[in-house]
């Protein structure tokens, strides 16, 4: 049987990849990698080409096979695929732990760093060597053999726990559904959302309107449904996913997994000589210490909470004055916030949807980056895809193709919720001297087209789309040819959100909105009066959203600074403490947000969720230069391209920011952007 994962393909042959291919392919590739690493250590003297580039060539083969498998597990999940993915995760974790603790390989890198060759290497190559030496030490290369074995065991355990956590959240999300027989039982829900719910029912051979916990349906109910009891029901179901509470209590419970993950992370950190996992996390980030991170978060909380409290006071007063409850609950907040927004600014997300059909938004977004960076985005129909909804494109500069990407925009069954970007191929020069172009996966979970109408996006979804495309540009516009620091690789985690949050700003500018929008029936751009209302409403409840994100960031970071495996119920205690300090809306006791917090328990944001706010300061400050120079000033766009996007992780993140802005970032830029400046 031929195995497509063992063949060299410019792009993954998704139509040919089957679950039974996965384990044999990864086993074969890992065996070849281990042999290859041993062989490259036999050739002396060591050089960048013979060790670093040789290792990159070996490991790119693993990435080419594993990237589509990992992606399919997220977007086309099945029991067979999941089992194969879980099996291979453990094997891959073992390999990287072995390599990280390979003393001869570490010494080869050290020899290169101390050689005359090192000084003559380009900046990117020196950064690859420096990062590798740091990562060897953070993988336990200096530990005694017995402690190395324990470190390896913990790495494998953490990898498996991450995967199981995500699987539980996905299963819990899929497990809940509610069939509503009549349209009249969904008062206030917009026609667009009703059509999608009806489509959900038809796909399950049911009649009526099928409610799920997928984001488009959940948000439609929470934001628009007049039935307070139904809002509470969905709020509870969503907020207790994968926990020991709620409608599926105990069935997919992540409680023990969280404790096991936190314990394993702490033990690994202590093996390496750190006091806690947060210290280990910061060792790879732009922030210089745990104290700096906590000070940053506390400072933002102090400056924004007073504004958030005013937001809540206004919302409570509005709800009481318009037939709402005396005691505003969490499941009331999105509903009355949307009502107040409509009353205060005479605009709503649903009124905006017809002006943001997905094809028009995509075309407008591609025009934004053409003006900024002199690139063209064109459809490419020759790329194999995993689902009929997937759109494929290539990026051209000066007529030459420089990158490709996939857009998987719409929610469906067996697809992980949320929105994200991941790399399919990384820009690099291979061992034959050929340039491998970067390729990105861009994934969202919007409501799809209904019958003959295109998908109509809320303005919030437009912002999400721009955010993920910003990540994609960071990966695809790189000019670095060394894979470990090419594109998003090697970028400090607390700086990686800079390009994504930077691009969001163009969703709020009259000049760019003029071509991002266009009515799906008439093609008319967003009318001036609606545009004016949208822009006036930009900072509506910005402070409430700020403290909500700070709640997540502080909870995550304090949890990883102070976790004690012997203390019971510590996760909830720390979350309650953070909420007491910064939250302006408190959820009920039977709410288990942390059990579905995949960013820190199933993803790469452990002791790093603060990165969103950290990078938002960077992005607000960077964008302020475009406001000073002109929105589409070519020189400014070219400077952002050359100092940030093209450099990838080849230089220190602060140095790159200073190269663009001429100084270090200022937190006041974010406060001004969100309407909270003194």
For 359-381, what is each residue's pLDDT tens digit?
A: 999 999 999 999 999 999 999 99
Domain annotation for the chain: domains and CATH numbers: 4-100+102-138 (1.20.1050.40), 176-239 (no CATH), 255-347+542-609 (1.10.1370.10), 353-504 (3.40.390.10)
Distances, alpha carbon 8 to alpha carbons 11, 128, 178, 487, 600, in Å: 9, 25, 46, 22, 34
The pLDDT of residue 97: 93
| Residue range 24-28: mean pLDDT, rounded | 98
Q: Which residues are CB-contacts of 410 (< 8 A; sequence separation ≥ 6)?
A: 389, 444, 445, 446, 447, 448, 449, 455
Neighbours of 253 (CB within 10 A): 18
Q: What is the pLDDT of residues 40-52, one digit of tens each?
A: 999 899 999 999 9
Neighbours of 227 (CB within 10 A): 16
Q: What is the pLDDT of residues 565-592, one digit of tens each?
A: 999 999 999 999 999 999 999 999 999 9
Cis peptide before 145 (omega within 30 of 0): no
In the β-sheet with 376-379, what is the strand arrangement from edge to edge?
Answer: 376-379, 391-397, 400-410, 439-446, 420-425
The pLDDT of residue 1: 67
**Residue 78, SS3 per DSSP:** coil
| Residue range 500-512: mean pLDDT, rounded | 97
Considering the chain, what percentage of its residues have pLDDT values greater than 70? 100
User: Taking Cα atoms as reference points, which of 365, 416, 408 lies closest to residue 388?
Assistant: 408
Cβ(503)–Cβ(469) under 8 Å? yes
| Residue range 600-611: mean pLDDT, rounded | 95
Cβ(48)–Cβ(117) under 8 Å? yes
Residue 139 to residue 148: CA distance in whole angstroms = 9
User: Taking Cα atoms as reference points, which of 563, 543, 541 lies closest to residue 551?
Assistant: 543
Tokens representing 664 are 């270090």
Cβ(212)–Cβ(177) under 8 Å? yes
Residue 111 to residue 384: CA distance in whole angstroms = 43
Catalytic residue set: 468
Residue 376 bridge partners (DSSP): 396
- Return the H-helix or E-strand segment holding 659: helix 653-661
The pLDDT of residue 10: 95
Residue 311: pLDDT band (50, 70, 90) is very high
For residue 376, report the phi and psi dihedrals to the nearest 5 degrees: -120, 135
The pLDDT of residue 678: 63
pLDDT at 629 over 70: yes
What pTM value is reported for the model? Answer: 0.91
For residue 378, report the phi and psi dihedrals to the nearest 5 degrees: -130, 150
Q: Which residues are CB-contacts of 627 (< 8 A; sequence separation ≥ 6)?
A: none
Residue 439 bridge partners (DSSP): 404, 425
Q: Which residues are CB-contacts of 535 (< 8 A; sequence separation ≥ 6)?
A: 508, 510
For residue 335, report the phi and psi dihedrals to the nearest 5 degrees: -65, -55
The pLDDT of residue 431: 87
The pLDDT of residue 614: 96
pLDDT at 331 over 80: yes
Mean pLDDT over each residue of the chain, to the nearest integer: 96
Residue 204 to residue 469: CA distance in whole angstroms = 33
Strand ranges (E), 300-399:
376-379, 391-397
Q: What is the pLDDT of residues 203-258, one digit of tens each?
A: 999 999 999 999 999 999 999 999 999 999 999 999 999 999 999 999 999 999 99
For residue 631, report the phi and psi dihedrals to the nearest 5 degrees: -55, -45
Residue 617 to residue 659: CA distance in whole angstroms = 16
Cβ(441)–Cβ(345) under 8 Å? no
Residue 250 to residue 171: CA distance in whole angstroms = 12
């Amino acid at each position: 049987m031929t195995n497509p994962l063992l063949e060299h393909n410019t792009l993954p042959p998704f139509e040919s990849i089957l679950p039974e291919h996965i384990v044999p392919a990864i086993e074969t590739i890992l065996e070849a990698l281990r042999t290859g690493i041993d062989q490259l250590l036999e050739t002396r003297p060591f050089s960048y080409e013979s060790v670093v580039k040789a290792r990159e060539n070996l490991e790119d083969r693993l990435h080419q096979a594993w990237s589509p498998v990992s992606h399919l597990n997220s977007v086309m999940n099945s029991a067979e695929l999941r089992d194969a993915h879980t099996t291979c995760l453990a094997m891959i974790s073992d390999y990287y732990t072995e390599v990280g603790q390979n003393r001869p390989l570490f010494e080869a890198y050290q020899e290169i760093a101390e050689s005359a060759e090192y000084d003559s290497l380009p900046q990117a190559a020196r950064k690859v060597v420096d990062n590798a030496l740091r990562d060897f030490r953070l993988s336990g290369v200096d530990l005694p053999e017995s402690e190395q074995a324990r470190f390896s065991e913990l790495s494998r355990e953490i990898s498996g726990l991450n995967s199981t956590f995500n699987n539980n959240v996905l299963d819990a999300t899929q497990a809940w559904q509610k069939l509503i027989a009549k349209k009249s039982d969904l008062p206030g829900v917009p026609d667009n959302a009703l059509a999608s719910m009806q489509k959900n029912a038809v796909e399950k051979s049911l009649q009526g309107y099928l409610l799920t916990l997928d984001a488009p349906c959940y948000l439609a109910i929470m934001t628009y449904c007049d039935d307070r009891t139904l809002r509470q029901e969905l709020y509870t179901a969503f907020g207790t996913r994968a926990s020991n509470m709620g409608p599926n209590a105990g069935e997919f419970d992540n409680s023990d997994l969280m404790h096991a993950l936190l314990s394993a992370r702490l033990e690994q950190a202590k093996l390496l000589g750190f006091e806690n996992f947060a210290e280990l996390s910061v060792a790879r980030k732009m922030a210089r210490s745990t104290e700096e991170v906590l000070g940053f978060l506390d400072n933002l909380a102090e400056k924004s909470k007073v504004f958030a409290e005013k937001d809540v006071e206004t919302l409570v007063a509005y709800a009481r004055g318009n037939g709402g409850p005396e005691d505003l609950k969490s499941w009331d907040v999105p509903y009355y916030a949307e009502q107040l927004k409509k009353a205060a600014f005479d605009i709503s997300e649903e009124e905006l949807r017809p002006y943001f059909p997905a094809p028009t938004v995509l075309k407008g977004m591609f025009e934004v980056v053409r003006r900024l960076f002199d690139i063209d985005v064109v459809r490419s129909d020759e790329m194999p895809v995993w689902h009929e909804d997937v759109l494929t494109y290539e990026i051209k500069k000066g007529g030459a193709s420089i990158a490709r990407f996939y857009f998987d925009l719409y929610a469906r069954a067996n697809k992980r919720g949320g929105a994200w970007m991941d790399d399919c191929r990384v820009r690099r020069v291979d061992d034959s001297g050929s340039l491998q172009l970067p390729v990105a996966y861009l994934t969202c979970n919007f409501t799809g087209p209904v019958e003959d109408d295109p998908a109509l996006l809320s303005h919030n979804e437009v912002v999400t789309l721009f955010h993920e495309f910003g990540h994609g540009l960071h990966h695809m516009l790189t000019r670095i040819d060394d894979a470990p620091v090419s594109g998003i690789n090697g970028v400090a985690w607390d700086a990686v959100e800079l390009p994504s949050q930077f691009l969001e700003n163009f969703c709020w500018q009259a000049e760019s909105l003029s071509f991002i929008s266009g009515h799906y029936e008439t093609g008319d751009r967003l009318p001036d009066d609606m545009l004016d209302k949208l822009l006036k409403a930009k900072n509506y409840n910005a402070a409430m959203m700020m403290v909500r994100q700070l709640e997540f960031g502080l909870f995550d970071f304090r949890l990883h600074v102070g976790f004690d495996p012997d203390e019971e119920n510590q996760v909830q205690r720390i979350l309650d403490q953070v909420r007491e300090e910064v939250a302006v809306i408190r959820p009920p006791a039977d709410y288990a947000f942390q059990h579905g917090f995949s960013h820190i328990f199933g993803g790469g944001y452990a002791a790093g969720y603060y990165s969103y706010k950290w990078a938002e300061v960077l992005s607000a400050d960077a964008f302020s230069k475009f406001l000073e120079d002109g929105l589409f000033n070519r020189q400014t766009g070219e400077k952002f391209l050359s100092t940030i996007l093209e450099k990838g992780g080849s230089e220190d993140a602060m140095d790159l920011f200073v190269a663009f802005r001429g100084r270090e970032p200022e937190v006041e830029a974010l406060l001004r952007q969100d309407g909270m400046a003194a």
